[in-house]
Amino acid sequence: MLKDFDSAILRDARRVVVKVGSSLVTNEGRGLDEAAIGEWCRQMSLLVREGREVIMVSSGAIAEGMKRLGWTTRPHQVHELQAAAAVGQMGLAQMYETKLRENGLGSAQVLLTHADLADRERYLNARSTLLTLLKLGVLPVINENDTVVNDEIKFGDNDTLGALVANLVEADALVILTDQKGLYTADPRKDTSAQFVHVAQAGDAALEAMAGGAGSSLGRGGMITKILAAKRAAGSGASTVIAWGREPDALLRLCEGESIGTLLIAPTQKTQARKQWIADHLQMRGSVTVDAGAVKKLRSDGSSLLPIGMTGVDGEFSRGDVIAIRSDDGLEVARGLANYASAEARLICRKPSSQFEQLLGYSAEPEMVHRDNMVLSR
Protein backbone atom coordinates (compact mmCIF):
# COMPACT_ATOMS: atom_id res chain seq x y z
CA MET A 1 0.00 0.00 0.00
CA LEU A 2 1.04 3.60 -0.55
CA LYS A 3 1.26 5.96 2.42
CA ASP A 4 0.41 9.46 1.28
CA PHE A 5 -2.80 10.81 -0.25
CA ASP A 6 -1.62 12.82 -3.27
CA SER A 7 -3.76 15.94 -2.99
CA ALA A 8 -2.61 17.24 -6.37
CA ILE A 9 -4.38 14.47 -8.30
CA LEU A 10 -7.88 15.79 -7.64
CA ARG A 11 -6.83 19.39 -7.16
CA ASP A 12 -5.33 19.50 -10.65
CA ALA A 13 -8.04 17.41 -12.35
CA ARG A 14 -9.70 19.35 -15.16
CA ARG A 15 -12.12 16.66 -16.33
CA VAL A 16 -13.89 14.60 -13.67
CA VAL A 17 -16.42 11.78 -13.91
CA VAL A 18 -18.66 11.45 -10.83
CA LYS A 19 -20.54 8.18 -10.27
CA VAL A 20 -23.22 7.87 -7.61
CA GLY A 21 -24.97 4.65 -6.57
CA SER A 22 -28.61 3.62 -6.32
CA SER A 23 -28.83 3.49 -2.52
CA LEU A 24 -27.64 7.10 -2.30
CA VAL A 25 -29.75 8.44 -5.17
CA THR A 26 -32.92 6.78 -3.91
CA ASN A 27 -32.29 7.05 -0.14
CA GLU A 28 -32.14 3.27 0.29
CA GLY A 29 -35.05 2.73 -2.09
CA ARG A 30 -37.49 5.19 -0.52
CA GLY A 31 -37.60 7.32 -3.68
CA LEU A 32 -35.35 9.89 -5.28
CA ASP A 33 -33.52 11.83 -2.58
CA GLU A 34 -34.19 15.37 -3.73
CA ALA A 35 -32.00 16.98 -1.10
CA ALA A 36 -29.00 14.75 -1.79
CA ILE A 37 -29.26 15.10 -5.58
CA GLY A 38 -29.62 18.85 -5.16
CA GLU A 39 -26.48 18.92 -3.04
CA TRP A 40 -24.40 17.01 -5.60
CA CYS A 41 -25.73 19.25 -8.36
CA ARG A 42 -24.77 22.35 -6.36
CA GLN A 43 -21.24 21.07 -5.90
CA MET A 44 -20.87 20.06 -9.54
CA SER A 45 -22.11 23.45 -10.72
CA LEU A 46 -19.48 25.17 -8.56
CA LEU A 47 -16.78 22.94 -10.04
CA VAL A 48 -17.93 23.84 -13.55
CA ARG A 49 -17.76 27.54 -12.65
CA GLU A 50 -14.16 26.94 -11.58
CA GLY A 51 -13.41 25.84 -15.12
CA ARG A 52 -13.62 22.09 -14.62
CA GLU A 53 -15.54 19.70 -16.86
CA VAL A 54 -17.85 17.33 -15.00
CA ILE A 55 -19.83 14.29 -16.11
CA MET A 56 -22.31 12.51 -13.84
CA VAL A 57 -22.92 8.77 -14.09
CA SER A 58 -26.01 8.11 -12.01
CA SER A 59 -27.63 4.87 -10.93
CA GLY A 60 -31.16 4.84 -9.63
CA ALA A 61 -33.49 4.35 -12.60
CA ILE A 62 -34.55 0.81 -11.70
CA ALA A 63 -34.76 1.61 -7.97
CA GLU A 64 -36.90 4.70 -8.65
CA GLY A 65 -39.08 2.71 -11.04
CA MET A 66 -39.59 0.05 -8.38
CA LYS A 67 -40.72 2.72 -5.94
CA ARG A 68 -43.13 4.27 -8.44
CA LEU A 69 -44.55 0.85 -9.28
CA GLY A 70 -44.92 -0.08 -5.63
CA TRP A 71 -42.44 -2.97 -5.76
CA THR A 72 -40.46 -3.68 -2.58
CA THR A 73 -38.24 -6.43 -4.00
CA ARG A 74 -36.02 -6.14 -7.07
CA PRO A 75 -37.60 -8.39 -9.74
CA HIS A 76 -35.67 -11.11 -11.59
CA GLN A 77 -37.59 -11.09 -14.86
CA VAL A 78 -35.76 -9.06 -17.50
CA HIS A 79 -38.94 -7.51 -18.91
CA GLU A 80 -39.92 -6.31 -15.43
CA LEU A 81 -36.46 -4.80 -14.87
CA GLN A 82 -36.73 -3.04 -18.22
CA ALA A 83 -40.19 -1.72 -17.33
CA ALA A 84 -38.92 -0.42 -13.98
CA ALA A 85 -35.99 1.29 -15.71
CA ALA A 86 -38.30 2.95 -18.23
CA VAL A 87 -40.56 4.29 -15.48
CA GLY A 88 -37.71 5.38 -13.22
CA GLN A 89 -35.67 7.06 -15.93
CA MET A 90 -38.36 9.73 -16.34
CA GLY A 91 -38.12 10.85 -12.73
CA LEU A 92 -34.33 10.54 -12.59
CA ALA A 93 -33.76 12.76 -15.63
CA GLN A 94 -36.32 15.30 -14.45
CA MET A 95 -34.73 15.54 -11.01
CA TYR A 96 -31.22 16.19 -12.36
CA GLU A 97 -32.54 18.68 -14.90
CA THR A 98 -34.41 20.59 -12.19
CA LYS A 99 -31.58 20.66 -9.67
CA LEU A 100 -28.87 21.56 -12.18
CA ARG A 101 -31.05 24.28 -13.66
CA GLU A 102 -31.60 25.72 -10.19
CA ASN A 103 -27.82 26.06 -9.98
CA GLY A 104 -27.55 27.76 -13.36
CA LEU A 105 -26.32 24.74 -15.28
CA GLY A 106 -27.81 22.99 -18.29
CA SER A 107 -28.01 19.20 -18.41
CA ALA A 108 -28.31 16.45 -20.99
CA GLN A 109 -29.46 12.86 -20.58
CA VAL A 110 -27.22 10.30 -22.26
CA LEU A 111 -28.18 6.61 -22.20
CA LEU A 112 -25.36 4.20 -23.02
CA THR A 113 -24.84 0.46 -23.19
CA HIS A 114 -21.61 -1.47 -23.09
CA ALA A 115 -22.29 -2.25 -26.77
CA ASP A 116 -22.09 1.47 -27.56
CA LEU A 117 -18.60 1.54 -26.10
CA ALA A 118 -17.49 -1.73 -27.70
CA ASP A 119 -18.39 -0.72 -31.26
CA ARG A 120 -15.68 1.53 -32.68
CA GLU A 121 -17.91 3.95 -34.57
CA ARG A 122 -20.53 4.23 -31.82
CA TYR A 123 -17.69 4.73 -29.32
CA LEU A 124 -16.37 7.69 -31.27
CA ASN A 125 -19.84 9.11 -31.79
CA ALA A 126 -20.53 8.92 -28.05
CA ARG A 127 -17.17 10.54 -27.33
CA SER A 128 -17.83 13.37 -29.78
CA THR A 129 -21.26 14.00 -28.29
CA LEU A 130 -19.97 14.14 -24.71
CA LEU A 131 -17.02 16.39 -25.57
CA THR A 132 -19.35 18.72 -27.47
CA LEU A 133 -21.71 18.92 -24.48
CA LEU A 134 -18.78 19.76 -22.19
CA LYS A 135 -17.60 22.42 -24.61
CA LEU A 136 -21.10 23.93 -24.55
CA GLY A 137 -21.04 24.07 -20.75
CA VAL A 138 -23.72 21.39 -20.41
CA LEU A 139 -23.38 18.67 -17.76
CA PRO A 140 -24.10 15.19 -19.17
CA VAL A 141 -26.01 12.82 -16.88
CA ILE A 142 -25.32 9.25 -17.99
CA ASN A 143 -27.06 6.00 -17.17
CA GLU A 144 -27.13 2.60 -18.77
CA ASN A 145 -29.91 2.11 -21.29
CA ASP A 146 -31.48 -0.62 -19.21
CA THR A 147 -34.79 -0.49 -21.07
CA VAL A 148 -33.45 -2.17 -24.21
CA VAL A 149 -30.40 -4.25 -23.26
CA ASN A 150 -30.49 -7.48 -21.29
CA ASP A 151 -26.85 -8.02 -20.41
CA GLU A 152 -26.36 -4.61 -18.77
CA ILE A 153 -29.21 -5.30 -16.35
CA LYS A 154 -28.21 -8.89 -15.77
CA PHE A 155 -24.48 -8.43 -15.33
CA GLY A 156 -23.67 -4.76 -15.66
CA ASP A 157 -23.08 -2.13 -13.00
CA ASN A 158 -22.61 1.60 -13.14
CA ASP A 159 -19.21 1.42 -11.45
CA THR A 160 -17.97 -0.23 -14.62
CA LEU A 161 -19.88 2.27 -16.74
CA GLY A 162 -18.26 5.13 -14.82
CA ALA A 163 -14.81 3.72 -15.60
CA LEU A 164 -15.71 3.23 -19.26
CA VAL A 165 -16.92 6.83 -19.48
CA ALA A 166 -13.68 7.99 -17.83
CA ASN A 167 -11.79 6.10 -20.53
CA LEU A 168 -14.12 7.42 -23.24
CA VAL A 169 -13.55 11.10 -22.48
CA GLU A 170 -10.01 10.70 -21.13
CA ALA A 171 -10.98 12.03 -17.71
CA ASP A 172 -8.34 13.00 -15.18
CA ALA A 173 -10.23 11.42 -12.30
CA LEU A 174 -13.17 9.18 -11.44
CA VAL A 175 -15.01 9.85 -8.18
CA ILE A 176 -17.25 7.01 -6.99
CA LEU A 177 -19.69 8.19 -4.34
CA THR A 178 -21.06 5.31 -2.31
CA ASP A 179 -22.66 4.47 1.03
CA GLN A 180 -19.27 3.42 2.45
CA LYS A 181 -16.45 5.66 3.70
CA GLY A 182 -14.04 3.91 1.36
CA LEU A 183 -12.02 0.70 1.29
CA TYR A 184 -11.02 -1.27 4.38
CA THR A 185 -8.52 -4.12 4.60
CA ALA A 186 -11.49 -6.32 5.63
CA ASP A 187 -15.21 -5.91 6.30
CA PRO A 188 -15.25 -3.65 9.40
CA ARG A 189 -18.68 -4.99 10.33
CA LYS A 190 -17.19 -8.44 10.77
CA ASP A 191 -13.53 -7.79 11.57
CA THR A 192 -12.70 -5.29 14.30
CA SER A 193 -9.05 -5.24 13.21
CA ALA A 194 -9.96 -3.91 9.74
CA GLN A 195 -7.98 -0.79 8.81
CA PHE A 196 -9.02 1.98 6.48
CA VAL A 197 -7.09 2.24 3.19
CA HIS A 198 -6.38 5.91 2.50
CA VAL A 199 -4.34 5.40 -0.66
CA ALA A 200 -3.18 2.55 -2.90
CA GLN A 201 -2.24 1.90 -6.49
CA ALA A 202 -5.12 1.04 -8.80
CA GLY A 203 -4.75 -2.49 -10.10
CA ASP A 204 -2.93 -3.79 -7.01
CA ALA A 205 -4.02 -7.42 -6.70
CA ALA A 206 -4.24 -7.11 -2.92
CA LEU A 207 -7.16 -4.69 -3.26
CA GLU A 208 -9.42 -7.31 -4.83
CA ALA A 209 -8.78 -9.65 -1.91
CA MET A 210 -9.87 -6.92 0.50
CA ALA A 211 -13.10 -6.06 -1.32
CA GLY A 212 -16.36 -7.72 -0.33
CA GLY A 213 -19.06 -9.30 -2.45
CA ALA A 214 -22.36 -7.99 -3.80
CA GLY A 215 -23.88 -4.70 -2.74
CA SER A 216 -27.37 -3.87 -1.55
CA SER A 217 -30.65 -5.28 -2.84
CA LEU A 218 -31.10 -2.09 -4.84
CA GLY A 219 -27.90 -2.06 -6.85
CA ARG A 220 -25.76 -4.72 -8.46
CA GLY A 221 -22.37 -3.58 -7.31
CA GLY A 222 -20.25 -3.78 -4.20
CA MET A 223 -16.74 -2.74 -3.22
CA ILE A 224 -15.25 -5.29 -5.62
CA THR A 225 -16.90 -3.59 -8.62
CA LYS A 226 -15.42 -0.28 -7.49
CA ILE A 227 -11.93 -1.77 -7.20
CA LEU A 228 -12.23 -3.27 -10.68
CA ALA A 229 -13.63 0.01 -12.03
CA ALA A 230 -10.61 1.87 -10.64
CA LYS A 231 -8.33 -0.66 -12.34
CA ARG A 232 -10.14 -0.12 -15.65
CA ALA A 233 -10.07 3.68 -15.33
CA ALA A 234 -6.34 3.55 -14.61
CA GLY A 235 -5.84 2.05 -18.08
CA SER A 236 -6.38 5.49 -19.57
CA GLY A 237 -4.51 7.28 -16.78
CA ALA A 238 -7.46 8.27 -14.56
CA SER A 239 -7.09 7.92 -10.79
CA THR A 240 -10.15 6.99 -8.70
CA VAL A 241 -11.51 8.11 -5.35
CA ILE A 242 -14.07 6.00 -3.48
CA ALA A 243 -15.85 8.18 -0.91
CA TRP A 244 -18.99 8.46 1.18
CA GLY A 245 -21.65 10.27 -0.85
CA ARG A 246 -23.12 12.05 2.16
CA GLU A 247 -19.83 13.53 3.31
CA PRO A 248 -20.45 17.32 3.43
CA ASP A 249 -19.06 19.06 0.32
CA ALA A 250 -17.19 15.89 -0.62
CA LEU A 251 -16.69 16.85 -4.28
CA LEU A 252 -15.56 20.38 -3.48
CA ARG A 253 -13.20 19.29 -0.74
CA LEU A 254 -11.70 16.52 -2.87
CA CYS A 255 -11.03 19.00 -5.68
CA GLU A 256 -9.39 21.30 -3.16
CA GLY A 257 -6.97 18.48 -2.38
CA GLU A 258 -8.43 17.24 0.90
CA SER A 259 -7.95 13.59 1.83
CA ILE A 260 -11.42 12.03 1.77
CA GLY A 261 -12.16 8.37 1.14
CA THR A 262 -9.78 5.97 -0.61
CA LEU A 263 -7.58 7.22 -3.43
CA LEU A 264 -6.51 4.62 -6.00
CA ILE A 265 -3.73 6.12 -8.08
CA ALA A 266 -3.30 5.34 -11.77
CA PRO A 267 0.27 4.17 -12.36
CA THR A 268 0.40 5.76 -15.82
CA GLN A 269 -0.34 9.37 -16.73
CA LYS A 270 -3.30 10.07 -18.99
CA THR A 271 -1.42 11.26 -22.08
CA GLN A 272 1.21 8.55 -21.79
CA ALA A 273 -1.37 5.78 -21.51
CA ARG A 274 -3.30 6.79 -24.62
CA LYS A 275 -0.33 7.60 -26.81
CA GLN A 276 1.58 4.51 -25.76
CA TRP A 277 -1.38 2.41 -26.89
CA ILE A 278 -1.34 4.12 -30.29
CA ALA A 279 2.45 3.81 -30.59
CA ASP A 280 2.34 0.10 -29.78
CA HIS A 281 -0.47 -0.64 -32.23
CA LEU A 282 1.01 -3.11 -34.69
CA GLN A 283 -1.91 -3.91 -36.98
CA MET A 284 -2.75 -0.85 -39.04
CA ARG A 285 -5.38 -1.31 -41.73
CA GLY A 286 -4.29 1.59 -43.88
CA SER A 287 -2.41 4.84 -44.27
CA VAL A 288 -2.63 8.30 -45.71
CA THR A 289 0.09 10.11 -47.62
CA VAL A 290 0.68 13.79 -46.91
CA ASP A 291 2.53 16.60 -48.64
CA ALA A 292 5.72 18.29 -47.41
CA GLY A 293 3.78 21.17 -45.86
CA ALA A 294 1.72 18.79 -43.73
CA VAL A 295 4.86 16.91 -42.66
CA LYS A 296 6.39 20.18 -41.46
CA LYS A 297 3.24 21.14 -39.52
CA LEU A 298 3.05 17.75 -37.86
CA ARG A 299 6.72 17.60 -36.87
CA SER A 300 7.48 21.23 -36.06
CA ASP A 301 4.17 22.75 -35.02
CA GLY A 302 2.48 19.80 -33.31
CA SER A 303 -0.57 20.30 -35.50
CA SER A 304 -3.44 17.96 -36.29
CA LEU A 305 -3.61 16.40 -39.73
CA LEU A 306 -6.11 18.18 -41.97
CA PRO A 307 -7.42 16.43 -45.11
CA ILE A 308 -6.30 19.34 -47.28
CA GLY A 309 -2.71 18.21 -46.67
CA MET A 310 -3.36 14.61 -47.75
CA THR A 311 -2.29 13.45 -51.20
CA GLY A 312 -3.46 9.83 -51.07
CA VAL A 313 -5.27 7.12 -49.08
CA ASP A 314 -4.15 3.47 -49.01
CA GLY A 315 -5.97 0.45 -47.63
CA GLU A 316 -9.48 0.02 -46.21
CA PHE A 317 -10.07 1.27 -42.68
CA SER A 318 -12.93 2.43 -40.50
CA ARG A 319 -13.43 5.50 -38.37
CA GLY A 320 -11.41 4.95 -35.18
CA ASP A 321 -8.80 2.62 -36.69
CA VAL A 322 -5.13 3.35 -36.12
CA ILE A 323 -3.59 4.44 -39.42
CA ALA A 324 -0.10 5.45 -40.52
CA ILE A 325 0.65 8.94 -41.81
CA ARG A 326 3.37 8.79 -44.46
CA SER A 327 5.40 11.32 -46.41
CA ASP A 328 5.55 11.24 -50.21
CA ASP A 329 8.66 9.04 -50.05
CA GLY A 330 6.84 6.41 -47.97
CA LEU A 331 8.40 7.14 -44.56
CA GLU A 332 6.08 6.95 -41.54
CA VAL A 333 5.77 10.42 -40.05
CA ALA A 334 3.17 9.55 -37.42
CA ARG A 335 0.29 7.25 -36.59
CA GLY A 336 -3.07 7.99 -35.05
CA LEU A 337 -6.81 7.40 -34.86
CA ALA A 338 -8.71 8.13 -38.08
CA ASN A 339 -11.74 10.40 -37.76
CA TYR A 340 -12.99 9.23 -41.15
CA ALA A 341 -13.21 5.85 -42.89
CA SER A 342 -11.05 5.27 -45.95
CA ALA A 343 -13.93 5.79 -48.40
CA GLU A 344 -14.73 9.16 -46.83
CA ALA A 345 -11.04 10.08 -46.61
CA ARG A 346 -10.71 9.63 -50.36
CA LEU A 347 -13.59 12.05 -50.93
CA ILE A 348 -12.16 14.81 -48.73
CA CYS A 349 -8.51 14.34 -49.70
CA ARG A 350 -7.02 17.76 -50.66
CA LYS A 351 -10.30 19.46 -49.65
CA PRO A 352 -10.93 22.16 -47.02
CA SER A 353 -13.33 21.42 -44.16
CA SER A 354 -15.82 23.92 -45.61
CA GLN A 355 -16.58 21.36 -48.36
CA PHE A 356 -17.05 18.31 -46.11
CA GLU A 357 -20.81 18.64 -45.76
CA GLN A 358 -21.27 18.92 -49.52
CA LEU A 359 -18.99 15.93 -50.20
CA LEU A 360 -20.07 13.64 -47.37
CA GLY A 361 -23.61 14.74 -46.64
CA TYR A 362 -22.64 15.77 -43.12
CA SER A 363 -20.01 17.82 -41.35
CA ALA A 364 -18.01 16.37 -38.45
CA GLU A 365 -14.44 16.84 -37.26
CA PRO A 366 -12.26 19.15 -39.38
CA GLU A 367 -9.21 16.90 -38.78
CA MET A 368 -8.40 13.56 -40.32
CA VAL A 369 -6.32 12.78 -37.21
CA HIS A 370 -6.43 15.05 -34.16
CA ARG A 371 -3.10 15.80 -32.52
CA ASP A 372 -4.36 14.38 -29.21
CA ASN A 373 -4.84 11.03 -30.97
CA MET A 374 -1.49 11.06 -32.76
CA VAL A 375 2.03 9.87 -32.01
CA LEU A 376 4.97 11.13 -34.05
CA SER A 377 7.38 8.48 -35.31
CA ARG A 378 10.99 8.67 -34.22
Residue ranges for the binding site? 19, 59, 146, 158, 178-179
Pick from 18, 86, 116, 95: nearest CA to 58:
18
Rounded to an integer, what distance in angstroms lies between the CA atom of residue 340 and that of residue 366? 10
Are the C-beta atoms of 53 and 238 separated by less than 8 Å? no
Rounded to an integer, what distance in angstroms lies between the CA atom of residue 38 and that of residue 117? 29
Q: What secondary structure letter does DSSP report for 101?
A: H
Q: Is 190 exposed, middle or buried (0-12, 13-18, 19+ CB in 10 A)?
A: exposed
- Binding residues for ATP, as ranges, are 19, 178-179
**Pairing mode, if any, of strands 262-265 and 199-201?**
parallel
Are the C-beta atoms of 100 and 58 separated by less than 8 Å? no
Are the C-beta atoms of 351 and 308 separated by less than 8 Å? yes
Are the C-beta atoms of 178 and 22 separated by less than 8 Å? no
- Binding residues for substrate, as ranges, are 59, 146, 158
Non-local CB neighbours of 319 within 8 Å, separated by 6+ positions: 120, 121, 124, 338, 339, 340, 341, 344
Strand order in the sheet with 15-20: 106-112, 138-144, 53-58, 15-20, 173-178, 239-244, 262-265, 199-201
Q: How many Cβ atoms sit within 10 Å of the Cβ of residue 276? A: 14
